[in-house]
Amino acid sequence: MLERVSDLFRQSFGGEPAVITRAPGRIEFIGNHTDYNGGTVLGAAVDGGLWVAASPRRDARRRWRSAIGEAVVETGEALVKLEGESAWVNYPQGVMAAMQSHGLTLPAGFDYAVASDLPVGAGLSSSAAIELSSALAFLELTNQSVDRETLVKIGRQAENDFVGVPCGILDQGVSGFGRRDHLVFIDCRRPEFSTVPLPAGAHFWIFNTHTKHALVDGLYSARHAECMAAAADLGVEQLADASLELFYREQSRLSPTVAKRARHVLEEIDRVGQTIAALNAADLSALGRHLTASHRSSQHAFENSTPELDSLVDQLTTMAGVYGARLTGGGFGGAVMALTDGSFGEAYVKLADQVAEGYRSRWGAEAQVLHLLTDDGAEVIRAMPS
Ligand code: ADP
Ligand code: MG
């Protein structure tokens, strides 16, 4: 990737980039729809991400180039939202707007190229990866630095306020705090970040269905509203403030639908705790059971799964070598993650092929298969020469 982004930079602008940064994508390991309820979540930074190469310019021109776009895009000093093919520039421009609101200096003119080995829109958060790699590049260009919490905040702010996507803290938190062979634990209320070691020999597989429920935005807001109603009915500020005991005692007062949503979120937060216990005991089988239990709760209680995702989990959980499987991300389409054992070898390629074949024969469509390992969080690869 270092070569790829350097090549793209050279082809687009000539010369060597002064600065190179990278930030990883992420998977939601467990903790489904817990973030906006003030709960906890575990994620993993993955070994695919976005790489930014940049050099300062003497003038105030800003030139942008991505491998996913055709041409070089040029902007001036004003941070103006772009549309159409150049809309991707809103992510790094949003980062600059967020930096400004934190009192940081912006680089004037620069040349910027970004390359990626992370599929776009696969639920692996290429958006957080472009935000964090861009933020690190802009900080390098201006000889500034911020702590990780601020870096994460800047990324999220770019997406929430400038791009206009109301994402939670998981994406940027994991891209920022990721660590190889670890999971990132986030207490979303504060938010607070830490890492938990992942037992050796854990492998991730992603089966991306490329399906997306037509009403997905409406369904998200409906679930959000149901969770807020549950909190109000239980007399707490955020749903995560309610204990499971309180919920079990009071659930008959809630409407059946609201009670199901609340049960999912509160049991899921409890599962995150049990997952950490399983991680500390290096118990991969228990880990897998919690993952699959999370999916079943999505399927039956939160109702954010789909028949396609269910079929993948059904198939995966009958296979030798699979500890557990669940939908990863918001649901209503998207991808299933499986945690599997062993070294990556012939047997696992076959296993993945078998799942893909099962999916093809059932749905007449292709599932994209990705094999992922954990990786470190956002970092500067080439620092600005002083
Ligand atoms: P994801 O689940 O991958 O985060 P999003 O829809 O949140 O999906 O973000 C995808 C957007 O991030 C793309 O539409 C694009 O604007 C931006 N993006 C992702 N990868 C790249 C890239 N390699 N170059 C430029 N922009 C990118
Ligand atoms: Mg995203």
Instruction: Give the tens place of pLDDT for each residue, 280-302.
Output: 999 999 999 999 999 999 999 99
Whether residues 20 and 90 share a domain: the answer is yes
With beta carbons less than 8 A apart as the criterion, state whether 289 and 257 touch.
Answer: no
Residue nearest to atom 10 of ligand 1 (CA): 127
Q: Which residues contact 375 (CB under 8 A, 6 or more apart)?
A: 24, 45, 46, 47, 49, 178, 180
With beta carbons less than 8 A apart as the criterion, state whether 183 and 372 touch.
Answer: no
User: For residue 45, which amino acid is it?
Assistant: A
22 vs 53: CA distance, rounded Å: 9
Query: How confident is the model at residue 201, as a pLDDT?
Result: 80
13 vs 167: CA distance, rounded Å: 33
Higher pLDDT, 111 or 211: 111
Tell me how many domains the chain contains. Answer: 2
Residue nearest to atom 6 of ligand 1 (CA): 121
Interval 143-180: pLDDT, tens: 999 999 999 999 999 999 999 887 789 999 999 999 99
Residue 384 pLDDT > 50, yes or no?
yes
- Burial of 270 by CB count in 10 Å (0-12 exposed, 13-18 middle, 19+ buried)? middle
Residue 309 pLDDT > 90, yes or no?
yes
Which ligand 1 atom is at minimum distance from the Cα of 123? 2
Tokens of 275: 């997952």
In this structure, what CATH number is given to the domain that contains residue 83? 3.30.230.10
Could you say which of 35, 111, 171, 375 is catalytic? 171
355 vs 367: CA distance, rounded Å: 9
Residue nearest to atom 23 of ligand 1 (CA): 116
Nearest to residue 91, comparing CAs of 142, 50, 54? 50
Which ligand 1 atom is at minimum distance from the Cα of 116? 23
Tokens of 19: 């600065």
Whether residues 191 and 228 share a domain: the answer is no
Whether residues 182 and 212 share a domain: the answer is no
Report the pocket of ligand 1 as residue ranges, CB < 6 Å: 50, 66-68, 87-88, 91, 114, 116, 120-121, 123-127, 130
Residue nearest to atom 14 of ligand 1 (CA): 88
298 vs 292: CA distance, rounded Å: 10
Whether residues 367 and 262 share a domain: the answer is yes
Residue 345 pLDDT > 60, yes or no?
no
C-alpha to C-alpha distances, 37 to 33, 78, 383, nearest whole angstrom: 7, 36, 39
User: Rounded to two decimals, what is the model's pTM?
Assistant: 0.93
In this structure, what CATH number is given to the domain that contains residue 316? 3.30.70.890
The chain-wide mean pLDDT, for the chain, equals: 94
Distance of CA 168 to the CA centre of its chain: 10
Whether residues 161 and 70 share a domain: the answer is yes
Higher pLDDT, 340 or 123: 340
Whether residues 298 and 350 share a domain: the answer is yes
Tokens of 47: 């070994």
Residue nearest to atom 19 of ligand 1 (CA): 126
Whether residues 92 and 234 share a domain: the answer is no
∠ CA(165), CA(191), CA(88), 5° rounding? 25
The residue range of the domain holding 141 is: 2-197+375-382
Whether residues 69 and 156 share a domain: the answer is yes
Q: Tell me the percentage of the chain whose pLDDT exceeds 70.
A: 98
127 vs 66: CA distance, rounded Å: 13
Which ligand 1 atom is at minimum distance from the Cα of 128? 4
Q: Which residues contact 230 (CB under 8 A, 6 or more apart)?
A: 239, 242, 254, 258, 259, 261, 262, 265
Residue 350 pLDDT > 80, yes or no?
no
Q: Tell me the percentage of the chain whose pLDDT exceeds 90.
A: 82
Whether residues 229 and 337 share a domain: the answer is yes
Whether residues 193 and 209 share a domain: the answer is no
Distance from Cα 167 to the centre of ligand 2, integer Å: 8
**Catalytic residue flag (residue 171):** yes
Whether residues 219 and 103 share a domain: the answer is no
The residue behind tokens 């986030």 is 186
Kindly list the protein residues that place their beta carbon closer than 5 angstroms to ligand 2, a single-atom ion. 125, 127
Which of 100-109, 120-129, 244-253, 290-299 has the least mean pLDDT? 120-129
Query: How confident is the model at residue 344, as a pLDDT?
Result: 43
Which of 127, 159, 370 has the most ligand 1 atoms within 8 A of CB, as the residue to mutate? 127
Which ligand 1 atom is at minimum distance from the Cα of 165? 7
Residue nearest to atom 15 of ligand 1 (CA): 88
Query: How confident is the model at residue 382, as a pLDDT?
Result: 98
Which ligand 1 atom is at minimum distance from the Cα of 124? 2
Which of 50, 126, 163, 171 has the most ligand 1 atoms within 8 A of CB, as the residue to mutate? 126
Whether residues 188 and 211 share a domain: the answer is no
